[in-house]
Chains A and B, each alone.
Chain A
């Protein structure tokens, strides 16, 4: 199994531009999570899906952030328009269930907004 696959690994963009991060979860996993990690705040949950349905998006900072999961094998996190304070590492994770199974994280997308 290739694990959770995220793309791109690095993204550098200018303030105001749209950014789209992509994630392919592990096949058979029915829960998918988007996290953001910064030195100041550590790992923060942005949103999670169960069976492709968004369950909790209370961590999404503001309307500039949106996430979709059109099918069981693909999810996107979009930031429009991006701001310098969005600079962070964004992780996607998947699990067999959302309660007792471990999270399997991708290697993240490092986003820099200038």
Chain B
């Protein structure tokens, strides 16, 4: 069954600290993996898209990694800010156009 599992479900960190969110998937055949950030009351916003051949990609303080062999991805947030508080959604595109969404990790950054 094609699934995307994210962990943890929720996370609370202090402003300025780093954190890492995990995404494991069983989607096959794999096309690409995306991370989205969704602020409360808003639509998701794309952070990164990685294909099979890419194992790391950065977008400012966000760095995503991909291990296509173990079917794992992580999103690392450096020097967190209050504005990083959001839900982070891992999405895997199955070859042939189907997108499989994870349930998301809710991050709260405290001052």
Residues of A within 8 A of B (CB): 4, 42-45, 56, 91, 93, 98-100, 102-108
A98 contact from B45, B46, B97, B104, Cβ within 8 A: B97
B46 contact from A104, A107, A108, Cβ within 8 A: A104
Asked if B31 is at the interface of the complex by the 8 Å CB criterion, the answer is: yes
The residues of A that contact B104 with a CB separation of less than 8 Å are 42
Q: Report yes or no: B43 in contact with A4, Cβ–Cβ below 8 A.
A: yes
Chain B residue nearest in CB terms to A43: B101
Q: Report yes or no: A105 in contact with B97, Cβ–Cβ below 8 A.
A: no
Interface residue tally on B, bucketed by range: 20 to 34
Q: What are 9 A-to-B residue pairs whose CB atoms are below 8 Å? A: A42-B101, A42-B103, A45-B99, A56-B97, A98-B97, A99-B93, A103-B44, A107-B43, A108-B42
* A44, A104, A105, A107: residue with the most chain B Cβ atoms closer than 10 Å: A105
User: How near does chain A come to B12, taking the closest CB pair, in angstroms?
Assistant: 19
Residues of B within 8 A of A (CB): 31-32, 34, 36, 41-46, 49, 51, 89, 93, 97, 99, 101-104
Given A99-B31, A99-B97, A93:B43 Cβ within 8 A: yes
User: How near does chain B come to A75, taking the closest CB pair, in angstroms?
Assistant: 15
Q: Report yes or no: B49 in contact with A100, Cβ–Cβ below 8 A.
A: yes
Task: Given contact pairs A42-B104, A91-B43, A98-B97, enumerate 7 new A-B contacts (beta carbons under 8 Å).
Answer: A4-B43, A42-B102, A42-B103, A44-B101, A100-B31, A106-B43, A107-B42
Q: Report yes or no: A105 in contact with B44, Cβ–Cβ below 8 A.
A: yes
CA–CA, A4 to B89, complex, Å? 19
